[in-house]
Amino acid sequence: MSNIKDKGSNIINTTTQKSQSIEKLILDLRNQQVMIDCDIASLYGVETKVLNQAVKRNINRFPERFMFQLSKDEKDELVTKCDRFVKLKHSSSCPYAFTEQGIAMLSAVLKSETAVSISIQIMDAFVAMRRILMKNDHISTEIENIKKHLLETEIHQLETDKRINDLFEKLDLYKIKDHKGIFFQGQIFDAYAKFESFLQSATSSIILIDGYVDISVLERLSKKKSKVKVEIYTSSNSKIVQADIDAFNAQYPILSIKHTTAMHDRFLIIDNQRLFHIGASLKDLGKKCFAFEEMDSSLIPLILSNL
């Protein structure tokens, strides 16, 4: 009996050697795609114990659907099937497995440019894996078996077939692009990863217009490049105090905060060249459904003049 499948051994024709190597590290465990802590640590360039210590310090961010610990039987099967885990054979503890959402969370916990960059590559590998699995003969056979079972039990034949087809069509339906997209309720870490990529793209300045800024927004802004100037326009009731500003500037200068009541909506301006309209405060990304869209940069002077 086996419930661990190393899907990487079946992957061919990947778009790049890098994505191919990451795809080989993705496993099927407990009927979901996961990566093992030591593989992730290797990609991030840190020791496994360092990665797991960071997780334990933020354990409230990693529910079981994001991360779980393997049982001894699962660990033994992993060692038997995958040569790269031979060092785990005599380990007294069992490794941790991270789902796609858990890996996205790691980039926020580890707080390094490498972690964010590698996490994005891992997310792309998960997406590529899903696409390939849909075309895999073995998976196609399983899908057909499911369809046949539904037909035999006479449970809404046509509607069930439609639902199965829709399930796979929706995989790319809400793909988030660089200039616009929709995040649905619960996509907290996907939303944060996307907006951190916008912040990291800045080379000279970031202007954020957001009436509900708190310390979590400063944590996002700490991912910016060094020497990038940050201006925040927010409500006078903001929870950011001068001590927060001073602490930020001690490590990530230069931040200034100004108060305004002129704007209802949220805007993000990158290098005075890219203008984003955001449907939610940066502190609330993904908590509810929201959209964002890049607007005509010619509007930037008009917006700034009305602050």
Question: Which residues are paired to 259 by β-bridges?
Answer: 234
Give the pLDDT mean for 163-186.
65
Distances from the Cα of 149 to the Cα of 134, 153, 160, 165, 193, angstroms: 19, 6, 11, 16, 40
Q: Write down the CATH superfamily of domain 180-305.
A: Endonuclease Chain A (3.30.870.10)
pLDDT value at 266 more than 70: yes
Distances from the Cα of 248 to the Cα of 208, 219, 235, 244, 301, angstroms: 16, 9, 19, 6, 27
**CA–CA separation, 178 and 194 (whole Å):** 8
Domain ranges of the chain: 5-130, 136-172, 180-305
Give the pLDDT mean for 72-80.
91
**CA–CA separation, 186 and 191 (whole Å):** 9
**CA–CA separation, 147 and 159 (whole Å):** 11
Query: 242 near 265, Cβ under 8 Å?
Result: no
Question: Which residues are paired to 182 by β-bridges?
Answer: 291
Distances from the Cα of 232 to the Cα of 103, 208, 218, 240, angstroms: 30, 5, 10, 11
Phi, psi dihedrals of residue 187, rounded to the nearest 5°: -85, 50
Give the pLDDT mean for 242-248.
90
> So what's the pLDDT on residue 12?
37
- Please, how many CA atoms are within 13 Å of residue 39, restricted to the half-sphere of its CB? 24
pLDDT tens figures, 11-52: 334 334 455 578 888 888 988 889 999 998 888 888 999 899
* Residue 165: how many other CB atoms lie within 10 Å: 12
Question: Which residues are paired to 183 by β-bridges?
Answer: 290
- Note the pTM of the prediction, 2 decimals: 0.44
pLDDT tens figures, 111-151: 767 777 777 778 777 776 666 666 665 656 766 777 677 66
pLDDT tens figures, 43-75: 888 899 989 999 999 999 999 999 999 999 999
